[in-house]
Structure 1
């Protein structure tokens, strides 16, 4: 079995960033779970702040600069996406949304997604389910059931009163790894004989529509 390809996107703006820290923790647990199942993973981690100018240029011109295009190409052949954003004004960061806007929507079809978010207060955790999850669902991705939110106080180990941050990270990573293990997106995309339309359309003479 070929290695699974995982793209990790962190849209934190500061250095160091709790958003990147959460992304790294989610990635580490997901890779560990896959390895325990006998599956190797290739990970590409992307800091969106390093691509901010390229993303803006793409929005303005419709063309992606080379570094951004490389990330978009990797995402199109990925077996899984770990996406982590800070929460500003009760929703995802503008940079995060701008990145989603320059992705070819078809690139995310059937893509397992593990959602992470960071913020100052646990109240912002609701943004995962009312803002971020619907965004990926609309794009036909497959967000895992457990989204992981890390408030400032969570890093001290107290958790949310129900489940500690490490427990939530592991639960989300395990669900994500289970989906990644079963997906064959990268093999399908790289197959020169794969079809970009359902066979029924081709047999029915609708290939040109």
Structure 2
């Protein structure tokens, strides 16, 4: 069976980064659950901090650098995406948004996406619902129900309702979407013209 491909987009600005740490924990949880179901997964981690200049130049020139183009292709061709951003001023970071701005609008159509974020305080957790989820809905991605937010105090939590529990639940939801999903390149059903769809609703004479 062809391995599934998972693109992990992380927008942490420091090194080491709590955003990357959360991305790694989510990736490990998804990989482990897929392995339990007998599915292999190839993971590609995309560190946006390393592409900041390339992303800015793309806006000016209209063309991606070879390095940026490779990562855009990795996201486009992946079977699923994990997207993790730090929260700045109650929303995703500018670097995170800029990367998805230069991605083709149709690249995430129908693609399972797990969204997550980090921040210094729990009061920013709703940014996942009012900022990230609408953005990926606009891009026509299939966003898993559980979004994972990690504030500074969450990292020491081990109970079922804490960070570890949310990671496991979100990973399970992404795994469920990927289970039985063929690798990229599957055929898309032909779309009938609107007039034919309307005609099919007419009563038979």
The answer to whether the 8 Å contact 1:77/1:185 transfers is no
Q: Does 1:79 align with 2:79?
A: yes
What SS does structure 2 have at the residue aligned with 1:176? helix
- Paired position in structure 2 for 1:32: 32
What is the total number of aligned residue pairs between the two structures?
194
CA distance in 2, matches of 1:181, 1:67: 31
Q: How do residues 1-209 of structure 1 correspond to structure 2 at under 5 angstroms?
A: 1-157=1-157, 163-184=161-182, 186-188=184-186, 194=187, 198-201=190-193
- Paired position in structure 1 for 2:199: none
- 1:198 deviation in Å? 3.1
What SS does structure 1 have at the residue aligned with 2:78? coil
CA distance in 2, matches of 1:123, 1:184: 39
- 1:199 deviation in Å? 4.7
Kindly tell me: are residues 158 and 173 of structure 1, through their superposed partners in 2, closer, same or farther at Cα, counting changes over 3 Å?
closer
CA distance in 1, matches of 2:184, 2:59: 27
CA distance in 2, matches of 1:109, 1:183: 15
What SS does structure 2 have at the residue aligned with 1:179? helix
- 1:183 deviation in Å? 3.1
What SS does structure 1 have at the residue aligned with 2:85? strand
TM-score (norm 1): 0.88
CA distance in 1, matches of 2:77, 2:2: 13
Query: What residue ranges of structure 2 are gaps of 5+ in the alignment?
Result: 197-205
CA distance in 2, matches of 1:51, 1:151: 25
Larger radius of gyration: 2
What SS does structure 2 have at the residue aligned with 1:130? helix
Give deviations 1:87-135, integer Å, cap 9, x for gaps: 0000000000000100001110001000110001111110001110010
- 1:77 deviation in Å? 1.1
